Structure formats: structure tokens, C-alpha cells
Amino acid sequence: MKAVVIKEFGTSDGLEVVDLPVPDPEPGQVRVATEAIGVGGVDALIRRATLGDMGFQAGHVLGSEVAGRVTAVGDGVDASWLGRRVWAFTGLTGGYVEQAVADIDEVVVLPDGLSGVEAVALGGSGVVAHFALERAGFAPGETVLVRGAAGSIGVSVVQLAARGSAGAVAVTTSSAERGVRLRELGATHVLDREGGGDSDAPSSFDVVIDIAGGAQVPLFLDKLNPNGRFLAVGLIAGLPPNDFGVPLIAAFRSSVSFATLSLDTVPVAAKQAVRSAQFAEAARGDLRTVVHEVLPLDQAARAHRAMDEGRVFGRVVLVP
Ligand SMILES: NC(=O)c1ccc[n+]([C@@H]2O[C@H](COP(=O)([O-])OP(=O)(O)OC[C@H]3O[C@@H](n4cnc5c(N)ncnc54)[C@H](OP(=O)(O)O)[C@@H]3O)[C@@H](O)[C@H]2O)c1
């Protein structure tokens, strides 16, 4: 089968299309003939080795979420799964392929009316958005700032905060055109990447959901209201400065807090329940999936180039 691997870490030119044997599902796993494959910001982080090699070697098969039909089941998995249309999380590897394997716990049946392309635009990132707002203790009426809102996680955070009756939903983005699209999803204020550019926006927020990280984290920690919560869910721009926590502690009389959220610590059953609910909402049109572009699997490098050039709004999807 066709697969896309990292031949060399760094630029998108280091991706290569190769032939690999079709995998057999292990006990407790299913095999899925992919009809859509999500291209996530985390794939770009791994490829660029922004945070080091993370233990991955050359030959690493990229990708972590697919949608398609179950073509084989491993020992211990009910044969009734065969032929079902599903979304599946494959871990931090094994997604950019024609036939993927996934643990049955990480597989969700797709509702009628939801395409594979829509499913992989939402399946991984919508759940991050849900648990980010939950972990931040977001409550109706509170003001929210989403940093890095134009990616697949951000577009869901914006929608969930808006329909959760946020007092304001501010976003950071790099262009006015993206700002218009984010307003269509529920943003009330559009800021530039430094947090300026809208004099009507609140100067501070109850909740900051940060997908970007990097050197500017202190700038946005400074934008917390008393009792405000800053939740880091992504590190697109790398780690914050080593001393980023010092002003936070020095301002302890404001009772602000900094926390991280990784889906790795959310129980699988809780993730799957939220994911199924979000798929049903998307099928009904109550939650929007944002697909930037659909490309053939063997053009994965083009998808990564688009991410590197900052052109992606929402998610790029590959099809075999
Ligand atoms: N917590 C978890 O469990 C979990 C799960 C999955 C992924 N992640 C993490 O989430 C991140 C990827 O999320 P994603 O796919 O939604 O993001 P993404 O699509 O890679 O990027 C989101 C947006 O961030 C903005 N951005 C890019 N570079 C920036 C910079 N230097 N400073 C400020 N903004 C910048 C860009 O929008 P503009 O150009 O409009 O500013 C971009 O569209 C990764 O770090 C990944 O590891 C976390």
C-alpha cells in the first residue's frame, strides 16, 4: 500500500511516498481502508522536529487520524465491525496510508450524513477544543481569547465558546481575511498575533486558550483578568521563555493560573463520548467542520508546505 514517511526531518521536501505491506490488525485492533486522512499541526511539529526528534526515526509514517471502512478485525474484536464506516485515531503514527490500524477503543462509528473528509477535519481537534474549555473552567458570560484560532483546534474553540454564551470571543490571527472567516464562526473581536489591532476588544480576559505557545506567551499571560485561566494546548511556535512563570507568581494577588491540557490524560471513554456527540452535531449542521483543501495522499508534501507557509485555515485533508 501507499504510505507517506519522513525520509528526512526538516522541510516538507523530506516527505516521501513509499510502498509498505498492508498491516494486519493486532489483537484488539481494526484495520481501516482510508477514505480521508487528517493533516494536523502536530504532524508538522514532528516533521520539523521543532521539539526535538520526540523519539521518532527516519522512516516514521506520519498521521494520526483517518476515516474509512473497517476491512479486518484483530482477535477479540467483534466481526460486526467489518464494513462499518468509522473515524479512527492511530496514535502519533500510521495515518498517511491506504490501510491504517487502530485500537478499537480509539474508533468511532460515523453517523449517516457525515463524510470522511468532515470527520477528520473535526475528530481530533474538536475534542481538544471541548476539553480545553472544560479544563479552563469556562462558564457562560466569561470572556475568552483564542490564540492561534485559524487552525483546526481554534476554529472549534471559537464555535464552542460562542455557543456557550461567552461574553466575548477574541481571536488572534495574521490576516483580515481570516478575521472575517473567524467572525463567521462566532468570534466577536479580531486581534493581530501580538494581541492588538482592535480598540473595542476587552484588554483582559477570563480565559485564554493558547494553541501557539512560543516567545509571546508572557504577553498573553498579562491579559488575564483576576481569577483568569491561561490554558496551553499547543506549541506551534515552540516553548515559552524559561522564566515565563516569574511574572505569574509575582502577580499572585490576582489569583491567575496557568495550566496545560493534553488529550493523553483524558480518559478514552470521555473523549469518545464527546467525539460521537460532535460528529452527530456536525452531521446535523450544528457544528461546522472547516476543510482548507482536499489533496491526494501522494501530495502530502504540498499539504505540509501550505502549513509551513501559513496558508491553511482549518485543516488539510488527504485522500488516497
Ligand atoms: N493538547 C492536545 O491534546 C493536542 C492535541 C492535538 C494537537 N495539539 C497541538 O496543537 C497544535 C496544532 O494545532 P492546530 O492544528 O489547530 O494548529 P495549526 O493549524 O498548526 O496553527 C493554528 C494557527 O496558529 C497561527 N500561528 C502559526 N504560527 C504562529 C506563531 N508563531 N505565533 C502565533 N500564531 C501562530 C496560525 O494562524 P494565523 O496565521 O492566522 O495567526 C495558524 O493557522 C500543535 O502544537 C499540536 O501539538 C495538542
Q: 236: Cβ below 6 Å to ligand 1?
A: yes
Q: 173: Cβ below 6 Å to ligand 1?
A: yes
Which atom of ligand 1 has the smallest separation from the CA of 125? 6
Q: How far away, in angstroms, is 190 Cα from ligand 1 center?
A: 17
Which atom of ligand 1 has the smallest separation from the CA of 237? 31
Q: How far away, in angstroms, is 76 Cα from ligand 1 center?
A: 37
Q: Ligand 1: which of 48, 131, 146, 153 to mutate, judged by most atoms within 8 Å of the beta carbon?
A: 153
Residues 142, 101, single domain; the answer is no
* Dist. CA 70–CA 320, nearest whole Å: 15
Which atom of ligand 1 has the smallest separation from the CA of 310? 39
* Dist. CA 104–CA 27, nearest whole Å: 9
Q: Ligand 1: which of 47, 128, 211 to mutate, judged by most atoms within 8 Å of the beta carbon?
A: 211
At 165-182, the pLDDT tens digits run 999 999 999 999 999 999
Q: 174: Cβ below 6 Å to ligand 1?
A: yes
Range 203-217 burial, b when 16+ CB lie within 10 A, else e: ebbbbbbbbbbbebb
* CATH value at residue 242: 3.40.50.720
Q: How far away, in angstroms, is 46 Cα from ligand 1 center?
A: 13
Dihedral class, residue 266 (left if φ above 0, else alpha if ψ from -120 to 50, else beta): beta
Q: At what angle do helices 125-135 and 152-163 cross, to 10 degrees?
A: 50
Which atom of ligand 1 has the smallest separation from the CA of 154? 16
Examine residue 275 and state whether it is found in any structural domain, yes or no: no
Q: What is the pLDDT, as a whole number, of residue 245?
A: 94
Q: What is the pLDDT, as a whole number, of residue 320?
A: 97
Task: Report angle CA 63, 65, 71 to the nearest 5 degrees.
Answer: 110
Q: What is the pLDDT, as a whole number, of residue 318?
A: 98
Q: Ligand 1: which of 171, 236, 271, 316 to mutate, judged by most atoms within 8 Å of the beta carbon?
A: 236
Residues 103, 134, single domain; the answer is no
Which atom of ligand 1 has the smallest separation from the CA of 314? 19
Examine residue 114 and state whether it is found in any structural domain, yes or no: no
Examine residue 279 and state whether it is found in any structural domain, yes or no: no
Q: 263: Cβ below 6 Å to ligand 1?
A: yes
Count of domains for the chain? 2
* CATH value at residue 42: 3.90.180.10
Examine residue 254 and state whether it is found in any structural domain, yes or no: yes
Q: What is the pLDDT, as a whole number, of residue 52?
A: 74
Examine residue 181 and state whether it is found in any structural domain, yes or no: yes
Name the β-bridge partners of 257. 229
* Dist. CA 183–CA 217, nearest whole Å: 24
Residues 146, 92, single domain; the answer is no
DSSP H helices, 112-175, are 116-122, 125-135, 152-163
**Domain hosting residue 25, numbered range:** 2-109+290-319
Residues 163, 223, single domain; the answer is yes
* Dist. CA 86–CA 66, nearest whole Å: 8
Q: Residue ranges of the chain with pLDDT lower than 70? A: none
Q: 64: Cβ below 6 Å to ligand 1?
A: no
